[in-house]
């Protein structure tokens, strides 16, 4: 059919980390590939922009990247040769508590063990198998299909991780240990009573002790820039301002890989789907949302807890029970008075993000899917709670609510930054099939967004695994 797009063996719709990973995997196998991106810049959820003032660089969505840093696929690419530099904050993460207290997730496990006092020994026993074997664990959790390479490690991880975090923390005696693990588990954006929420906590805590929580120097978009340089080195192309509203606009190709949400796929390809496939894709569930606020500050955040001043990331939720209540309310459609808030203070460690002595601050609160209200003051209140005087440092701010996030990136349906609820029934059956999750219900078409395994996060594995499946089926090419 006629088309405005160049002819290629394969097309990728969407230039997020997974779309680019799919394109690179195919290009390295000698396949001619073109990536089509609806926006004027590539990156998906991994963009950086001057949202407020020139010279102040804010990560628009994702910011801190332990899984990108240790992703088996990204590690194989050698992106550092294409300009990517990583920055490691002094402390990966801090969870402040009231009264100037708190607990830090240190790079060295023993430092956190000591800080946890009577719960330290138990924390060490629970985390050490995973932090000491982080790369082995990462391989298996980010490659979820087939028999694990490390079956005993994965069996132990499953035994602990499948528990609801509300049950898991009962073995701790102190508020600090419960808060630390709860804050990690809150990244699931699920109620704490959900089975499997402990797994999120174990993964994030183990990554902090195992490899840290680094971020790219200059902005998350520098990861994307390095990927594009690598893709172009293998003759791949990225075309921006190329929104696909009808799949028939594409030239015929052996492979089309979609870095898009199931809902978007139905919108532009639904007229080719059977009624059953269309219903199944429309039934895909989306989770709670992010309410994002970026700041320019006159000085560093005046945290009451000293360790917080050295952390790249902070979890602001108070006690375990406070976080449990907030996450429950979010899933009941209520915006909490005291929401769980994540903060990243990259400019403390990366002065390319800001100008002069000012600071930039990245933050978001968990919110109900599709929330359209104003939660800015609630988010600021949570920061002020743990950093008295924070309001006085604010020079300017930029707000992106859940529906603005969806407008910015249609994969974030209702503001769901994981592109799909990550509860157990949907963790691997994303979006249609447990055994063939990357196969779309059209011949030669494949899914690769975060709506496929292993789910949300910047790791590139969904794209790489989708491309592997496509290459094997369509060209008989096996990729390791």
Q: What b-and-e string marks burial along 222-256, b requiring 16 or more CB atoms within 10 Å of the CB?
A: bbbbbbbebbeebebbbeeebebeebebbeebbbb
Question: Would you say residue 345 has pLDDT above 90?
Answer: yes
Stretch 426-444: mean pLDDT, rounded?
A: 84
pLDDT of residue 248: 94
Across the chain, what does the average pLDDT equal?
A: 96
State the DSSP H helix or E strand holding residue 324, giving kind and residue range, or none if neither: helix 320-331
Percent of the chain with pLDDT over 70: 99
Identify the CATH class of 86-215+287-408: alpha beta
Read off the pLDDT band of 430 (50, 70, 90). confident
Stretch 369-379: mean pLDDT, rounded?
A: 98
Read off the pLDDT band of 2 (50, 70, 90). very low
Question: Would you say residue 433 has pLDDT above 80?
Answer: no
pLDDT of residue 428: 66
Percent of the chain with pLDDT over 90: 91
pLDDT in tens, 280-296: 999 999 999 999 999 99
Each domain of the chain, given as residue ranges in start order, spans 10-38+242-285+418-475, 86-215+287-408
pLDDT of residue 188: 95
Give the residue with greater pLDDT, 455 vs 211: 211
Alpha helices in 235-274 (DSSP H): 262-269
pLDDT in tens, 121-173: 999 999 999 999 999 999 999 887 678 899 999 999 999 999 999 999 999 99
pLDDT of residue 3: 62
Q: Are 164 and 195 in contact (CB under 8 A)?
A: yes
Cα–Cα distances in Å, from 351 out to 60, 87, 120, 346? 18, 11, 35, 8
pLDDT of residue 261: 92
Stretch 17-35: mean pLDDT, rounded?
A: 98
pLDDT of residue 435: 77
pLDDT in tens, 409-420: 999 999 999 988
Read off the pLDDT band of 373 (50, 70, 90). very high
Stretch 349-359: mean pLDDT, rounded?
A: 98
Considering the segment(s) 10-38+242-285+418-475 as one domain, its CATH architecture is 3-Layer(bba) Sandwich (3.50)
pLDDT in tens, 200-232: 999 999 999 999 999 999 999 999 999 999 999
Stretch 30-49: mean pLDDT, rounded?
A: 97
Q: What b-and-e string marks burial along 134-161, b requiring 16 or more CB atoms within 10 Å of the CB?
A: bebbbbbbbbbeeebeeeebbebbeebb
């Amino acid at each position: 059919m006629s088309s405005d797009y160049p002819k290629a063996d394969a097309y990728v719709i969407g230039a997020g980390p997974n779309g680019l990973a799919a394109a690179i995997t195919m290009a390295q196998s000698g396949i001619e590939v073109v990536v089509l991106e609806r926006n004027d810049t590539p990156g998906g959820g991994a963009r950086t922009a001057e949202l407020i003032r020139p010279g102040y660089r804010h990560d628009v969505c994702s910011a801190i990247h332990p899984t990108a840093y240790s992703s088996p696929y990204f590690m194989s690419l050698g992106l550092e040769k294409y300009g990517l530099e990583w920055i490691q904050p002094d402390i990966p993460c801090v969870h402040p508590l009231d009264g100037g207290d708190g607990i830090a997730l240190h790079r060295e496990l023993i430092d956190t063990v000591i800080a946890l006092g009577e719960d330290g020994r138990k924390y060490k026993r629970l985390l050490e198998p995973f932090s000491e074997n982080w790369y082995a664990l990462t391989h298996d959790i980010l490659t979820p299909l087939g028999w694990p390479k490390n079956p005993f490690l994965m069996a132990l991880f499953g035994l602990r991780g499948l528990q609801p975090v509300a049950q898991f923390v009962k073995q701790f005696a102190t508020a600090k240990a419960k808060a630390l693990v709860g804050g990690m588990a809150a990244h699931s954006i699920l109620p704490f009573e959900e089975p499997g929420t402990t797994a999120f906590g174990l993964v994030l805590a183990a990554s902090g002790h195992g490899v840290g929580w680094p971020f790219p120097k200059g902005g998350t978009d520098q990861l994307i820039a390095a990927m594009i340089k690598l893709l172009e080195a293998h003759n791949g192309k990225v075309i921006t301002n190329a929104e696909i509203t009808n799949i028939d606009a594409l030239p015929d190709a052996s492979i089309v890989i979609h870095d898009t949400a199931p809902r978007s796929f139905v919108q532009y390809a639904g007229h080719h789907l059977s009624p059953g496939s269309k219903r199944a894709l429309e039934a895909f569930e989306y989770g709670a949302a992010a309410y994002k606020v970026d700041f320019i500050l006159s000085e560093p955040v005046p945290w009451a807890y000293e360790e917080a001043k050295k952390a790249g990331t902070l979890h602001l939720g108070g006690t375990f029970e406070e976080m449990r209540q907030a996450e429950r309310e979010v899933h009941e459609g209520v915006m909490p008075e005291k929401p769980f808030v994540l903060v990243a203070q990259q400019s403390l460690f990366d002065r390319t993000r800001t100008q002069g002595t000012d600071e930039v601050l990245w933050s978001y609160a968990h919110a109900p899917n599709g929330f359209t209200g104003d939660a800015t003051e609630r988010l600021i209140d949570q920061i002020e709670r743990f950093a008295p005087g924070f309001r006085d440092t604010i020079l300017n701010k930029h707000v992106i609510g859940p529906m603005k996030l969806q407008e910015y990136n249609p994969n974030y349906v209702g503001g769901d930054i994981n592109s799909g609820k990550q509860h157990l029934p949907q963790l691997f059956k994303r979006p249609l099939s447990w055994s063939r999750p990357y196969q779309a219900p059209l011949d030669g078409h494949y899914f690769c967004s975060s709506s496929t395994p292993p789910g949300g996060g910047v790791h590139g594995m969904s794209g790489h695994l989708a491309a592997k499946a496509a290459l094997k089926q369509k060209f008989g090419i096996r990729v390791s």
